[in-house]
Amino acid sequence: MDAARNGNAAEVVALCNADSNAVHSKDDAGTTALILAARNGHAEVVRILIAARADVLCQVNSGYTAIHAAAQGCRISALLEANADLKLTSQAGFTPLHFAATSGNADLVQLLLQARAAVRSRTSKGKTALKLASARDDAEVVQVLRDAA
């Protein structure tokens, strides 16, 4: 997992070649190498792990997935191409769009919306992505979300 966390593509390839089940390993919180690579923005490692059949829908104990991690880190293209589920929620009810709305990255929000993220989905506290962006006074993200509503 350290190789994925640190973006060491060569080591990840070597580990996957040595043990095809390595991509399914989890730590005590349920975190996988794919989630670590996505969280840290290592797109090449994400692609390697997906090619090695890492589960893009795998959730950590709190319900968080690689697409949630990538949305926070603003790097989601490889996971979208692998058909990551944009409807999966964390325990707090956050979808990738909710995380993106709090990131302040309007391009990322637009990309998720183009991939058919549900603009009206609500967190467990009833907040939409628009409400979260509004609370941050993020005019650009608010406008993108309003245009999509």
Mean pLDDT calculated for residue range 111-130: 95
pLDDT for the residue numbered 82 = 83
Q: Measure the CA–CA gap between 55 and 23, rounded to whole angstroms.
A: 8
Cα end-to-end span (Å), the chain: 39
Cβ neighbours around 75 below 10 Å, total:
19
Give domain limits for the chain.
1-85, 87-149
- Look up residue 58 and give its two tokens: 């795998």
What is the percent of the chain where pLDDT is above 70?
A: 98
Fold for the domain defined by 87-149: 1.25.40
The per-residue pLDDT for range 35-82, each reduced to its tens digit, is 999 988 898 999 999 999 999 999 998 888 888 888 776 577 878 888
pLDDT for the residue numbered 106 = 92
Q: Which CATH class is domain 1-85?
A: mainly alpha
Q: What 3 state SS string does 47-79 have?
A: HHHHHCCCCCCCCCCCCCCHHHHHHHHCCCHHH
pLDDT for the residue numbered 76 = 78
pLDDT for the residue numbered 73 = 62
